[in-house]
Homo-oligomer: A and B are copies of this chain.
């Protein structure tokens, strides 16, 4: 399992590299990007995992969020994986919200998806092992996780399941109750089958009832987000966190949408949130 460097650019004194590798777990080639800040030249730096939303690849956040500025300021590495297995041999669907680009960070149990769709294991096991071995400067003892929309779901869900691994967590416009909204229901039914206990294992609102992390989860969501009422439903997760004692800072941002202009506006806050906690 080695990495092939596809592209490399200097950015804010650090380096953005895009890598290809073969994934035995997913059964296909995969691509991801790593922003390494200049501080990594002097020793290992904290690692932030950014999980993207529906249809996205590594490129959206690396091209459009401006994260490199804050990552270089605070000295953190940011890794952006893809959002699903991909390629000709991988099951797909014509819809933008199912199949390739829509892996929902879970292990599918239903055919045809169960052959390749294991994005939670890819994010938590296979890819970190590869990064730890082959990407210089990554301190795998200090990891945080964040994401957008479907990737916000992935970040919060994986943080709650692995709080010692991902010590910090934040999200932009996350899907926090996938089992109760159309995007999540469609994906869970396809990947996991009809409603069952399996759904709860990937639903942050259900998870937080049983297990709370020591971290404060930071969330920003725009009031003009066109998916707010139908897919995001912040109040359900906010209520569950209050009841369970999970610390949560959920900020509604007046007039902002679901887009990368919104994410870019608040990216510095999120990088700082992780960096300050991971510097300890």
A interface list, Cβ under 8 A from B:
9-13, 16, 63-64, 66, 68-69, 222, 224, 255-257, 259-262, 264-265
Hey, which chain B residues are within 8 Å of A264, CB to CB? Answer: 11-12, 66, 68-69
Closest B residue by C-beta to A223: B10
Q: Are B68 and A10 in contact (CB under 8 A)?
A: no
* One of B12, B16, B261 near A9 (C-beta < 8 A): B261
Judge whether B63 and A265 touch: CB under 8 Å: no
Residues of B within 8 A of A259 (CB): 9
**CB–CB B66/A262 < 8 A:** no
C-alpha gap A69/B267 in the complex (Å): 11
Q: How far is the CA of A150 from the CA of B55 in the complex (A)?
A: 32
Q: A10-B257, A264-B11 are in contact. Are A66 and B69 (CB under 8 A)?
A: yes
How long is the Cα–Cα vector from A264 to B14 in the complex, in angstroms? Answer: 13
**A10 is contacted by which of B63, B66, B222, B260 (Cβ under 8 Å)?**
B222
Q: Is the CB of B64 within 8 A of A265?
A: no
A265 closest partner in B (C-beta): B12
Contacts of A63 in B (CB 8 A): 63-64, 260
Decide if A256 touches B222 in the complex (CB within 8 Å).
no
The answer to whether B10 touches A255, judged by C-beta atoms less than 8 angstroms apart, is: yes
| Alpha-carbon distance A261/B63, docked complex (angstroms) | 8
A196 to chain B, nearest CB (A): 40
* Nearest CB on B from A173, distance (A): 13
A9 engages B257 (CB within 8 Å):
yes
B9 touches A262 (CB 8 A): yes
Selected contact of A261 from candidates B11, B255, B261, CB within 8 Å:
B11
Known: A63-B63, A64-B64, A66-B66. A224 touches B262 (CB 8 A): no
* Chain B residues within 8 Å of A256, by CB: 10
Q: How far is the CB of A103 from chain B (nearest CB, A)?
A: 24
A72, closest chain B residue (CB): B265
Residues of B within 8 A of A13 (CB): 265
Question: Across the interface, which residues of B come within 8 angstroms of A255, CB to CB?
Answer: 10
User: Which B residues are CB-close (under 8 A) to A64?
Assistant: 63-64
Q: How far is the CB of A217 from chain B (nearest CB, A)?
A: 24
Check B66–A261 contact: CB distance below 8 A: no
- Check A10/B224 contact, CB under 8 A, given A63-B64, A260-B63: yes
Task: List 12 A-B residue pairs with CB atoms under 8 Å apart, sorted by A's residue number.
Answer: A10-B222, A10-B224, A10-B261, A10-B265, A11-B264, A13-B265, A16-B261, A63-B63, A63-B64, A64-B64, A66-B264, A68-B265
